[in-house]
Amino acid sequence: MCITNQEVIKQLESLLENLDEQQKNTFQNMHQGYPTETLVRFLKARDGNVVKAHKMLIDCLQWRVENEIDNVLAKPIPPGLYRRLRDSQLMGMSGFTKEGLPVIAIGVGLSTFDESFDKYYIQSHIQMNEYRDRVIMPRATKNHGRHIDTCVKVLDMTGLKLSALNQLKLLTAITTIDDLNYPEKTDAYYIVNVPYVFSACWKVVRPLLQERTRKKVHVLKGCGTEELLKVMDYASLPHFCRKEGSRVPQHHEAGNTENCFFIDHVFHKQLYNYIEQQAIFIESISQDSFHVDLPEPDPVDAKIAKTIETEFHKLEIQNGLTN
C-alpha cells in the first residue's frame, strides 16, 4: 500500500533542493503550478519509497532536458506525414468524463504503425502527452475549479490479430516512456471489443501487473456503452463505443468529426494548430528532426512484453493446427 503523507512529501521535496536551472525549468513545465501533486504521483509510482521516487523523478527531469521535451510542442510533423500517422496510429480524445477527466481513445487492434519510422510515432505520442498535460488538463482544472491531472483511457481491441506481435517493440517503448516519465496519469483503463486473442493473453498478463494497475483496468462486455455511460455522457463516448457500430473504418471520410482518430477531428486540428503556432512563436528553437532516447524498460514491463510474445507464439501454433 502506498503511503504519501505530508512527512514523506517533505522528504522528497528536500531532496529536490539541489536541482540545476534546467531541471527546475522542466519541472515547472511538468507540474503546471501543482508541484506537490506531481511529487505524489511519483511517490505512488514507487509505492511511497522516497529514495526510489527521487531517482525516478531525477531520471525523468534529465530525460526531458536531454531530449528537449519542453520544446516538443514547437516541432511540427510535416502535414502529409502527420496524416499518415493518424491513419496508422489510432489515438485521440473524445471528450471528458462527468468529473472532468479527459477521455483518451486508443485503437489498439487496428493501429498498424506501418506508415513511417518508429521515431515519428514516438514523437506524436509524446506531443499528445505534453498537449494533454500542459494545455488540456490546465483548462479542465480552470473550468472545474479543482486540480485535474489524470485522464481515462478507452482501448478498442477491435481487429486485434497475432500480427500485432510485429509492433510489440514499438508499443513497449511507448509504454516505457509513459511509465517512467508520465507516471500515474491514467485514472482508469476501459478495454472494449475484446477478441479471443486479447482474452487469452490477458489471463497470463493480469497476474504480472502491480495491484494498483490491476485495479485500474476494466475489461467491459462488447463495446462497453452501458458501463461507460456511468462515467461519461454519450457525447464523450469514443465512436467505437456507440451502439451504431463498434468497428473503426480504416480510411476516413472528408469532414468526419465523430471519429476521434481522424485528422479532421477537432482534437487533432487544435493540437496541430497549437504546435504550428508554437513553432512560429519560438523561432529560436531548432526545427531539426525530433529524436528521443528511449529509456530502458522496467524489468516488470520487460517481463510482461516477453509473456505476451510467448503467448502470441502459442496462439500462432494453435491457430496453425486449427487451420
- Residue entry with cell 516512456: 177
Question: 189 CB contacts (<8 Å, ≥6 apart)?
Answer: 152, 153, 155, 216, 217, 218
Q: Convert the pLDDT of each residue in 57-75 to its tens digit.
A: 999 999 999 999 999 999 9
Question: 80 CB contacts (<8 Å, ≥6 apart)?
Answer: none
Asked if residue 246 has pLDDT above 50, the reply is no
pLDDT of residue 207: 85
Q: Convert the pLDDT of each residue in 149-204 to its tens digit.
A: 999 999 999 998 877 777 888 988 999 999 999 999 999 999 999 998 888 888 88
Dihedral of the alpha carbons of 233, 234, 235, 240, in degrees to the nearest 10:
130
pLDDT of residue 267: 97
Asked if residue 254 has pLDDT above 70, the reply is no
pLDDT of residue 117: 92
User: How many residues does this entry show for the chain?
Assistant: 323
Nearest to 121 by CA among 71, 86, 94, 73: 86
Q: Convert the pLDDT of each residue in 256-270 to its tens digit.
A: 458 999 999 999 999
Task: Convert 208-239 into a string of H (helix), E (strand) and C (coil).
Answer: HCCHHHHCCEEECCCCCHHHHCCCECHHHCCH
Q: Which residues pair with 154 in a beta bridge?
A: 105, 190
Q: Convert the pLDDT of each residue in 87-104 to its tens digit.
A: 999 999 999 999 999 999
Domains belonging to the chain, first-starting first, are 6-67 (no CATH), 73-243+256-281 (3.40.525.10)
Asked if residue 253 has pLDDT above 60, the reply is no
Higher per-residue confidence, 120 vs 296: 120
**For residues 37 and 30, what is the distance between their CA atoms, to the nearest angstrom?**
11
Collapsing DSSP states into helix, strand and coil, what is residue 315?
A: helix
Asked if residue 304 has pLDDT above 80, the reply is no
